[in-house]
Structure 1
């Protein structure tokens, strides 16, 4: 599904990047996976895609854009997302703070 000019893959259910796995009000980010460069709403969507080469973002690449705000389309660096306050620095939309509990699935 095209969301803010980005092809977000997987079972996306709305225009803010929510998917069948995570679809709460604050579930509104997509992540560009380091292994394939493709955008997905969550780790389960990525796994179901069949990439087969799962890799997390190494810390020396945290300056690269890898997180998309589903509300406004702002792209954030890994560092900016991880160091942020669980909201978009562009539009202020709140992100699910629980997403950071899955950090190890995406980032070193």
Structure 2
């Protein structure tokens, strides 16, 4: 990857990690606590030296989701509205990530 750095455990060139590594696990999330991208909350837990703080609602207009295939950075609304595909390159995203949405960004309970 030549775009933003993605931190985690055994992260490959498309942001898959040791925890999530299917063909659709190509998204990384930026955390508010450190402004760093991680492929998953488990990578943050294992490699960061601080507690994770999800991306706050008041920053949803800032790019905080990374497509690991084309390196396009998305805002949370762009990511959530993309129907599990990158709006730039059409790479499929894992719909299962929504089950953990509250670990990546503030939700009102309707996302997961």
TM-score, normalised relative to structure 2: 0.88
- Aligned pair count reads 106
Counterpart of 1:7 in 2: which secondary structure?
coil
Of 18, 25, 30 in structure 2, the residue corresponding to residue 20 of structure 1 is 18
Tell me the distance in 1 between the aligned counterparts of 2:21 and 2:5. 18
Q: Structure 1: any 5+ residue segments left out of the alignment?
A: none
2:76 aligned with 1:67, yes or no?
A: no
- 1:1-108 equivalent positions in 2, closer than 5 A: 3-108=1-106
Structure 1 runs, 4 residues or longer, greater than 3 Å off: none
1:28/1:95 contact within 8 Å kept: yes
The answer for unaligned runs of 5 or more in structure 2 is: 107-112
Shift in Å, 1:68: 0.6
Find the aligned partners of 1:13 and 1:40 in 2 and give their Cα distance.
9
1: CA distance, partners of 2:11 / 2:35: 21
Against the structure 1 CA distance between its residues 49 and 84, is the aligned structure 2 distance closer, same or farther, given a 3 Å change threshold? Answer: same
Which structure has more strand as a fraction of its residues? 1
Distance (Å, rounded) in 1 between the aligned partners of 2:10 and 2:59:
27
Secondary structure of the structure 1 residue equivalent to 2:69: coil
1:5-31 Cα shifts (integer Å, max 9, x gaps)? 221111134210000000011000111
